[in-house]
Amino acid sequence: MKLVRDVDVTSDKIIRSAADLAINGAPPMFAEPIHVGRPNIGDHKRFLQRASNILDSGWLSNNGPIAQEFEQRIASFLGVKHCVAMCNGTIALEIATRALELKGEVIVPSYTFIATAHALQWQEITPIFADIDPATHNLDPAAVWRMITPRTTGIIGVHLWGRASPVKELEAIAREH
């Protein structure tokens, strides 16, 4: 199986050892730190006005007007008929596994937030960790092939650091399995 990548694996920007880390004296990869766990609020004034409108409406969750607007705008952006907002990714994964009636084992990347595995375990599904591609940090399709067993019912590719998981390759594996 051949994958097309948008990453030059010969680039000097690829971390190959601890010596390549800025904390160990190497030049930083990015001019500004990328804060993964800190939210990007954007325009504070607009954000605070929207938050104030939500509080004034008295409708904080469960299909309120802001949630409906969000779902409609995302559906329009994606070109789909329906979009259902969830409170977090863990719940979204739980809903998806139930809707797909997954059982047994589901292959996930070895490098992911723990919620990926928890969402499966809470549905009595065994997460099977597959290796990642060191250049993208996403699931390595070749590793996915090696992890497939008769109990495998799904593959969850996690998009990480702004890089999309190799969805087409993972879909092809799922269709063939």
Profile the chain (177 residues) by mean pLDDT over runs of 10 residues: 40 67 82 75 90 88 86 96 92 94 96 94 96 92 96 94 92 93
Please tell me the pTM assigned to this model. 0.69
Per DSSP, the three-state class of 48 is helix
CA separation, residue 117 to residues 81, 105, 108 (Å): 29, 11, 8
pLDDT of res. 8: 44
pLDDT of res. 128: 97
pLDDT of res. 105: 97
> Which of 1, 2, 4 lies closest to 136, judged by CA?
4
Complete domains list, the chain, with CATH:
42-85 (no CATH), 88-177 (3.40.640.10)
pLDDT of res. 14: 65
pLDDT of res. 111: 92
pLDDT of res. 15: 67
CB 170 within 8 A of CB 139: yes
